[in-house]
């Protein structure tokens, strides 16, 4: 027990010195409820410092950082064209979550087509702490349950880790959440490691584009919305996936050259806007059909 208490005091000291405690969570999820054998895995980061926390995908962070560096290089040597290449491992989880201390104001960041949204979480998790205990990794953890987002959740928290935080939008237990899963087993987040980083910021500054350059889905500010407002935007997107692209083309002026390109499933490149839109709509609807088991059903149903 003395060792555990000493470790706790060390962690508190690190927070006070504005360092980042990075916790690694293995996130296993089933995108398609009709195919429960197809289990995806993503490594997620939960970065905690004295002002709050940020939860996001490692692969997406690396891919975004690489793409940002590539774009900045092209912008500095701008010759009339900018190429945005799709990365091999862009990350399967595109959202991120931030929480600010001490009030735990929570925001979920998600994108719909070319628009980025900052969704305010207006409900605090209501936990029922149970007497059950078990060892999760190297920590003795205690059970708690809650209802959230259209799912029933079982969490395990470790009082030896003095953070009332956890993965995704979950928080409010007397110790870090080291494992949480929904009762169907569709979404499971498990702590698998941690390390201390120097400094107090990991987020990158916003990419600044020349005035005459617009990249679909990049640049611009997040649109801050309530959950109800996001649900309306999501429903509109599902009904018309290429609306933003068509509007961008219609608002195009004579002095700006806009090119839409994509490839079909067999690798054929198409550039005719109408064909591109049809292909994009087809892909989007196929993707939505296969990703019918979201972590927060109430947000998109």
pLDDT digits (tens, 9 = 90+) for 249-293: 666 655 555 556 666 666 777 767 777 778 888 888 888 999 999
At residue 208 the predicted structure's pLDDT band, cuts being 50, 70 and 90, is low
Q: Cis ω on the peptide bond leading into residue 124 (within 30° of 0)?
A: no
Find the helix or strand (DSSP H, E) in which 24 lies: strand 20-29
Largest CA distance in the chain: 72
CA distances in angstroms from 289 to 76, 79, 116, 273, 278, listed in the order given: 41, 41, 22, 24, 17
pLDDT digits (tens, 9 = 90+) for 101-125: 999 999 999 999 888 999 999 899 9
CA distance 271 to 281: 15
């Amino acid at each position: 027990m003395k060792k555990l208490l000493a470790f706790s005091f060390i962690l508190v000291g690190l927070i006070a010195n504005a360092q980042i405690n990075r916790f690694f969570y293995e996130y296993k999820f089933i995108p398609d409820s009709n195919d429960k054998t197809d289990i995806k895995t993503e490594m997620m980061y939960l970065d905690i410092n004295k002002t709050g926390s940020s939860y996001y995908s490692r692969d997406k962070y690396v891919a975004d950082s690489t793409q940002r560096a590539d774009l900045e290089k092209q912008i500095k040597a701008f010759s009339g064209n900018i190429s945005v290449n799709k990365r091999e491992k862009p990350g399967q989880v595109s959202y991120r979550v931030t929480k600010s201390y001490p009030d735990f104001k929570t925001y979920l960041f998600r994108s719909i087509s070319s628009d980025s949204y900052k969704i305010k979480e207006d409900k605090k998790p209501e936990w029922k702490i149970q007497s059950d205990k078990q060892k999760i990794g190297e920590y003795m953890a205690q059970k708690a349950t809650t209802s959230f987002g259209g799912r029933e959740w079982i969490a395990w928290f470790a009082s030896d880790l003095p953070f009332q935080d956890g993965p995704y939008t979950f928080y409010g237990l007397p110790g870090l959440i080291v494992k949480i899963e929904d009762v169907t087993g569709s979404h499971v987040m498990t702590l698998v490691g941690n390390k201390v980083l120097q400094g107090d910021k990991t987020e990158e500054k916003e990419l600044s584009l020349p005035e005459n350059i617009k990249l679909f889905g990049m640049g611009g500010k997040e649109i801050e919305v309530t959950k109800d407002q996001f649900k309306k935007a999501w429903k509109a997107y599902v009904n018309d996936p290429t609306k933003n692209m068509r509007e961008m083309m219609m608002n195009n002026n004579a002095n700006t050259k806009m090119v839409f390109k994509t490839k079909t499933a067999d690798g054929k490149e198409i550039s005719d806007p109408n064909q591109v839109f049809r292909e994009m709509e087809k892909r989007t609807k196929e993707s939505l059909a296969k990703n019918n088991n979201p972590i927060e059903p109430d947000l998109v149903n």
